[in-house]
Chains A and B, each alone.
Chain A
């Protein structure tokens, strides 16, 4: 079978899984296993760098893993080291840049087709964010894809707004600038017309907005059905605030119930996203749920799956990553619970000490 035929067949299979889930049909373990292993074999054939890595671990086309959980996850930082794609990146449909964390070098996640990414993101968004079917206005405190086409987050929100929005989408972040006045005006305009909004925001942009609201004594009463989707870390770009504190202050400032504020957990190296499970949004500990084509594994240093409830590194198998690496090992810590995972956060090394060495500080200084 030629590369193109094989790739198209696999893409169709993944799209079929997504379509079925939309219609309420689950994906059983055997079907997930089968598709994951076929995608992995395809990647061993055509993704040279990933194949070499797997080969170094003794996993080859002649020695394939028995289950999806044995597929070697590529370290997320490897995207900064090599091209991880099954095809010539020159003809990629999408290319998203990861933030530089280890050497201030960003990696690129190339996707051969936008079909899988779009289908995966919309299906999960519909289920976890728009289960009530409301049409929302999207006010985005994330990069505008016109300014930063390499931002997966910007692309995602543009797709959502275009497919599910009310036609009046706002973007308020450009580079390091946050257009607070425009944001306030647009929120007030939507409130005046009783148009429910979805504020999609990074954690640090939300902190920044809350600080400015506090400075200017601005408060909102968002229309019923409004919600805030927070998409991740502080990355040293604002004061760090605990998520509890952030959500509580956001609820007060925007006039929302706490459960109307939830997190999306995604990575540039993945094509699919996790969301706070709806039934955990009013609990102290939120559980991240995923669509069935995205499965997490919590692993120990030896790469083996840890027992539920044990903290370890998060690995993901994302079938929508057909044209890159189906299995990814992240730098995030978490634990498996009923219904998904609990995200603990980014691993930051040991709680290092010294007679005067503060490794965390040295590391931060040297990597700055």
Chain B
């Protein structure tokens, strides 16, 4: 039987069941992969464990159902024509073949689009040149539902060999560098759906109202530290620029000190992994330069001796974010306009904005105008819910074509 003949609810349940098995830290395939992922990414084992937990715990049956129903109206729309209020009967028929290309990503980035493409009953090929996570997860899917054996395949890829194959797919999802994405786009036909996730950054904004006392400031710093430390600030939803308003009881400088404390605490939960000499030298170099600036009257730096992290208070306005592991510039601003000016100056393509849940409307407006596709609380920046959109795009709607039935 092909996946097409399986009811969507059964597919969703099988996916959720497989994800539940992977949520167990002792699940043997997960245990087998752990060291490999840590080695590839350079993250410590606790960080990898956290990433896998987050990935698979979120993939529950209710969450999958809610997402699909939110986008398509019902799960049954994937199985055949269904009534839609005030509209023709329609079928959300899944595309035949979907390719997902990911390389040099954080952990398991291809899993969510693969799962939703499978829920749409498409045959999915993931081309990934990293570790074996996606292949191992597909193997578990096949144990849950044999039809996945044919429908979900994972391959390693090299860019030359891949270009040719892509023309045979109905949709291509690609994560990667702008140049890589442009090359892939050039190889796919004009009718093909090309869903590209290019380089993006994220930012945070702390309004003066949230700096009314040290306790409130510390709570925000705690969340911001988590957003910075997790995945070494390498994810598109990591904290890459932080704006702190002046005029609160806690000054931006004091907030920087609190953040440094919290980064050190967060580093206990998420210890540093194996850092390459180049990365270590980059952070140390940036820290040393900031220390020089500080000594000559410009800005402040909070860092430890080994430069495992570095917080640059008031770096030059003309200096773009450095995108270094566990490092972030803290910009003291008078108002959201200051943050907007900085983001505009550097043309930063934003993914997410971390804010306090009770922040002012002008702050929210600035975050929206900045181009961010997600607003999140500090500490939650790197925990996008499965039921949310992905990079401003729907989760499953890109993998189906609507067939309206006017008969």
How many residues in A have their beta carbons less than 8 Å from beta carbons of B? 45
Cα distance A333–B282 when bound, in Å?
10
Binary per-residue interface labels of chain B (229-242) against chain A in the complex, 1 for a CB within 8 Å, 0 otherwise: 00110111110000
Residue of A nearest to B284 (CB): A301
- Which residues does chain B contribute within 8 Å of A357, judged by CB atoms? 199-201, 234-236, 238, 323, 351
Binary per-residue interface labels of chain A (89-115) against chain B in the complex, 1 for a CB within 8 Å, 0 otherwise: 000000000000011000000000000
A313-B285 CB under 8 A given contacts A302-B307, A355-B109, A366-B346 = yes
Contact residues, A320-360 vs B (CB, 8 A)? 329, 331, 333, 344, 347-360
Residue of B nearest to A331 (CB): B285
Cα distance A81–B295 when bound, in Å?
11
Q: Is B145 an interface position by the 8 A CB rule?
A: no
Cα distance A102–B295 when bound, in Å?
19
CB atoms of A56 and B105 under 8 A apart: no
Chain A nearest Cβ from B141, distance in angstroms: 21
Chain A nearest Cβ from B211, distance in angstroms: 27
- Which residues does chain A contribute within 8 Å of B284, judged by CB atoms? 300-303, 313
Contact residues, A22-74 vs B (CB, 8 A)? 49, 52-53, 55-57, 74
CB atoms of B289 and A56 under 8 A apart: no
CB atoms of B289 and A356 under 8 A apart: no
CB atoms of B105 and A355 under 8 A apart: yes
Chain A nearest Cβ from B271, distance in angstroms: 16
CB atoms of A103 and B319 under 8 A apart: yes
CB atoms of A312 and B281 under 8 A apart: yes
Residue of A nearest to B285 (CB): A331
CB atoms of A49 and B296 under 8 A apart: yes
6 CB contacts below 8 A, A to B, read A350-B279, A355-B109, A355-B175, A357-B238, A366-B347, A367-B320
Not counting A52-B296, A349-B282, A363-B323, a sample of 19 additional A-B residue pairs whose C-beta atoms are within 8 angstroms of each other reads A49-B295, A56-B294, A56-B295, A81-B293, A301-B280, A301-B281, A349-B324, A350-B275, A351-B276, A352-B234, A354-B105, A355-B109, A357-B234, A357-B236, A358-B177, A359-B234, A359-B323, A361-B177, A365-B178
Cα distance A57–B303 when bound, in Å?
13
Chain A nearest Cβ from B20, distance in angstroms: 23
- Which residues does chain A contribute within 8 Å of B176, judged by CB atoms? 356, 358
A74-B282 CB under 8 A given contacts A333-B277, A355-B109 = no
Chain A nearest Cβ from B73, distance in angstroms: 28
Q: Is B406 an interface position by the 8 A CB rule?
A: no
CB atoms of B41 and A353 under 8 A apart: yes
Cα distance A302–B291 when bound, in Å?
13
Q: Is B198 an interface position by the 8 A CB rule?
A: yes
Binary per-residue interface labels of chain B (306-322) against chain A in the complex, 1 for a CB within 8 Å, 0 otherwise: 11100000001011111
CB atoms of A363 and B320 under 8 A apart: yes
Cα distance A19–B223 when bound, in Å?
61
Cα distance A344–B276 when bound, in Å?
13
Q: Is A184 an interface position by the 8 A CB rule?
A: no
- Which residues does chain A contribute within 8 Å of B283, judged by CB atoms? 301
How many residues in B have their beta carbons less than 8 Å from beta carbons of A? 61
Residue of B nearest to A330 (CB): B285
Contact residues, B385-402 vs A (CB, 8 A)? 391
Q: Is B197 an interface position by the 8 A CB rule?
A: yes
CB atoms of A358 and B280 under 8 A apart: no
Binary per-residue interface labels of chain B (72-108) against chain A in the complex, 1 for a CB within 8 Å, 0 otherwise: 0000000000000000000000000000000011100
CB atoms of B285 and A362 under 8 A apart: no
- Which residues does chain A contribute within 8 Å of B235, judged by CB atoms? 354-355, 357
Q: Is A311 an interface position by the 8 A CB rule?
A: yes
Cα distance A355–B106 when bound, in Å?
5
Chain A nearest Cβ from B332, distance in angstroms: 19
- Which residues does chain B contribute within 8 Å of A103, judged by CB atoms? 316, 318-319
CB atoms of B292 and A350 under 8 A apart: no
Cα distance A55–B297 when bound, in Å?
13
Contact residues, B15-69 vs A (CB, 8 A)? 41-42
- Which residues does chain B contribute within 8 Å of A74, judged by CB atoms? 292
Q: Is B348 an interface position by the 8 A CB rule?
A: yes
- Which residues does chain B contribute within 8 Å of A78, judged by CB atoms? 289, 292
CB atoms of A77 and B104 under 8 A apart: no
Contact residues, B241-298 vs A (CB, 8 A)? 275-285, 288-289, 291-296, 298
Q: Is B204 an interface position by the 8 A CB rule?
A: no
Q: Is A75 an interface position by the 8 A CB rule?
A: yes
Cα distance A267–B238 when bound, in Å?
35
Chain B CB within 10 Å — which of A49, A53, A353 has the most?
A353
Cα distance A360–B235 when bound, in Å?
12
Residue of A nearest to B282 (CB): A349
Contact residues, B186-232 vs A (CB, 8 A)? 197-201, 231-232
Chain A nearest Cβ from B238, distance in angstroms: 7
Q: Is B305 an interface position by the 8 A CB rule?
A: yes
Chain A nearest Cβ from B166, distance in angstroms: 18
- Which residues does chain A contribute within 8 Å of B324, judged by CB atoms? 349-350, 359
A347-B291 CB under 8 A given contacts A355-B237, A358-B176, A362-B201 = no
CB atoms of B236 and A77 under 8 A apart: no
Residue of A nearest to B237 (CB): A355
Chain A nearest Cβ from B361, distance in angstroms: 29
Candidates A49, A311, A344, A354; contact of B238 at CB < 8 Å: A354
Q: Is A82 an interface position by the 8 A CB rule?
A: yes
Chain A nearest Cβ from B74, distance in angstroms: 29
Chain A nearest Cβ from B159, distance in angstroms: 14
- Which residues does chain B contribute within 8 Å of A360, judged by CB atoms? 323
- Which residues does chain B contribute within 8 Å of A56, judged by CB atoms? 291, 294-295
Q: Is B336 an interface position by the 8 A CB rule?
A: no
Cα distance A69–B324 when bound, in Å?
28
A75-B197 CB under 8 A given contacts A102-B319, A349-B282, A366-B321 = no
Residue of B nearest to A360 (CB): B323
Residue of B nearest to A367 (CB): B320
Cα distance A358–B180 when bound, in Å?
11
Cα distance A350–B277 when bound, in Å?
8
Cα distance A331–B279 when bound, in Å?
11
A353-B296 CB under 8 A given contacts A301-B283, A311-B277, A333-B277 = no
Binary per-residue interface labels of chain B (138-155) against chain A in the complex, 1 for a CB within 8 Å, 0 otherwise: 000000000000000000
- Which residues does chain A contribute within 8 Å of B199, judged by CB atoms? 354, 356-359, 361-362, 365
- Which residues does chain A contribute within 8 Å of B379, judged by CB atoms? none
Candidates A55, A347, A353, A363; contact of B285 at CB < 8 Å: A347
Cα distance A179–B284 when bound, in Å?
41
Candidates B234, B276, B282, B289; contact of A354 at CB < 8 Å: B234
Cα distance A56–B324 when bound, in Å?
24
CB atoms of B291 and A356 under 8 A apart: no
Q: Is B325 an interface position by the 8 A CB rule?
A: yes
Cα distance A365–B105 when bound, in Å?
19
Chain B nearest Cβ from A47, distance in angstroms: 12
Cα distance A55–B278 when bound, in Å?
28
- Which residues does chain B contribute within 8 Å of A354, judged by CB atoms? 105-106, 199-200, 231, 234-236, 238
